[in-house]
Structure 1
């Protein structure tokens, strides 16, 4: 009989257009299976893909953005001034990070765009921010190295990248029940969690912010939180708008691994470990950095396909699965070796 205590694995996606959550779940699981293979944990792959190791969920909220028409962003009037001001702040910090890269030293086009962001030497205010943002976004796509690396061909591409974090962080867009957009998004993640079972949570990009804030008030066990390509430490706009304050590791989290690719343009160089306070048990995010040497390193499946990410994630799932099976007196499905093949390595990790 299958254990009712089987752990859960919950993926929380980042920005992007509407998508099929079932297809995305399979794609993310396949990527993680590839990472497990690279980490020489092939015995766990079937257990993962067949959901013997854990019940897997894809916490999808992209349709909530679509309901509020964020995907229509294509001009200076598609964001209100408050949203545009947030995007300008995010874009300013992104360009600051880009200007610090050795390959961009002396890039005059990049310097001109940064000057355009604050022509008077002062941050752009809220009034008139929409028109100013469109002009800046148009100028950004004219910086070849940055535009190519970030896959931006038009100003609309720039705005789509940053508009969803802006809308989430604005904490408005109430529905008929007076529930704000960010509350509705976190409710989607919460619906995938089960306080009666241990859950490993993986948050990518904006999804790392959503996962962090959701777990802040969650009381179920989370043996591992994994953040990949996370903008949480972005000083200008994300960090000061995080809730609750001051930001601390959620009390439910036993371990937090923050993976960031040195070639990921979206991730600030400021490490979460230096900013997030520990929880009551002293848990803080542990940074794990690597260099992919890829033009576009921000994709969720790119991260999940790496051995460095897959190994601790899979070992944690295996250890938790073995522990819950033992406590419930159950056995793994015949022929899978889901626990027997991995219990020993997990215990030594």
Structure 2
């Protein structure tokens, strides 16, 4: 069976040229395939890159709807209390999972005494600074921006619809498509397919999630009820154990669904933060998995 390929990027892609970004993805995938002496068989018109970077940046920044960049398919205001709690819950879970101690956080506090706890803003800021100091390649600022964007996607219907419209336009009813989502893009892919894939007439022989934060507690809870998307035949998840965004495999312990997800936790993502798309698509196992469905 052959299938089209739908690619959904993560956050921090605003002001990027969509065509160049798409070529970066495709080039990385080709490198991963070359390691197994394989080639990408799909012509350009069978590859659909869902670009929403400018749309997300404009919406989060509060730009008027009439000036929002359109979602392209090729082939900070102040936080409210709910957003603060969402970010704090994720940051505290990251701290505990990657093993940053209370004392290491206290070293980063700008005041002598502050109550510990995820809902204390200064404590959260100190955790982000401690991540900068103690986790090679990780950026506290990037994680803070990531949690903001995920929150806005999950909680703001206008932002969610603007992003998801691009996915809806990329997947054709009745036409098999392998969907690949990276980082925030994996959240978008799962959420859309879970809600709309079946009645949309979509046929997804393979869903691939890369560096996915779906199993992080606050994100998993925000997406409930969770179930394996009916339109998806199989789901393959890949992560680097040192990628602090993905944090957990999508297994029955961390992301229990009514069907199993195949997890590949042995990715050696060579990018600085262990989260870059080049390091994921360049992994030979990831590349072969996509090739198996798209090209055979």
Superposition TM-score, scaled by structure 1 size: 0.70
Distance in 1 between residues matched to 2:151 and 2:108, nearest whole Å: 20
The offset of 1:14, in angstroms, is 1.0
Q: What is residue 221 of structure 1 aligned with on the other side?
A: 203
Distance in 2 between residues matched to 1:258 and 1:199, nearest whole Å: 17
Residue ranges of structure 2 left out of the alignment (5+ in a row) = 64-75
Q: What is residue 254 of structure 1 aligned with on the other side?
A: 233
Matching residue within 285, 296, 302 for 2:279: 302
Distance in 1 between residues matched to 2:91 and 2:62, nearest whole Å: 18
Q: Say if 2:19 is the partner of 1:28.
A: no
Q: Deviations over 1:185-231 (max 9, x none)?
A: 22221111101210000011111110001111213110100000000
Assess if the C-alpha contact under 8 Å between 1:249 and 1:277 holds in 2.
yes
> How many residue pairs get matched?
274
Assess if the C-alpha contact under 8 Å between 2:267 and 2:280 holds in 1.
no
Cα–Cα, structure 1 residues 273 and 113, in superposed 2: closer, same or farther, change >3 Å?
farther
Cα–Cα, structure 1 residues 6 and 267, in superposed 2: closer, same or farther, change >3 Å?
closer
Query: SS of the residue aligned with 1:185?
Result: helix
Cα–Cα, structure 1 residues 233 and 197, in superposed 2: closer, same or farther, change >3 Å?
same
The offset of 1:292, in angstroms, is 1.8
Assess if the C-alpha contact under 8 Å between 2:213 and 2:248 holds in 1.
no
Q: Say if 2:279 is the partner of 1:287.
A: no
Cα–Cα, structure 1 residues 113 and 240, in superposed 2: closer, same or farther, change >3 Å?
farther
Cα–Cα, structure 1 residues 296 and 57, in superposed 2: closer, same or farther, change >3 Å?
same
Cα–Cα, structure 1 residues 167 and 198, in superposed 2: closer, same or farther, change >3 Å?
same
Distance in 2 between residues matched to 1:70 and 1:276, nearest whole Å: 35
Q: What is residue 160 of structure 1 aligned with on the other side?
A: 145
Q: What is residue 70 of structure 2 aligned with on the other side?
A: none
The offset of 1:37, in angstroms, is 0.5
Query: SS of the residue aligned with 1:254?
Result: coil
Query: SS of the residue aligned with 1:222?
Result: strand
RMSD over aligned CA atoms reads 2.9
Assess if the C-alpha contact under 8 Å between 2:92 and 2:118 holds in 1.
no
Assess if the C-alpha contact under 8 Å between 1:35 and 1:306 holds in 2.
yes
Assess if the C-alpha contact under 8 Å between 2:181 and 2:210 holds in 1.
yes
Larger radius of gyration: 1
Q: Deviations over 1:287-312 (max 9, x none)?
A: 11115274421011210001010001
Q: What is residue 71 of structure 2 aligned with on the other side?
A: none
Q: Which runs of 4+ in 1 moved over 6 A?
A: none
The offset of 1:270, in angstroms, is 4.8
Cα–Cα, structure 1 residues 95 and 139, in superposed 2: closer, same or farther, change >3 Å?
closer
Query: SS of the residue aligned with 1:86?
Result: helix
Superposition TM-score, scaled by structure 2 size: 0.82
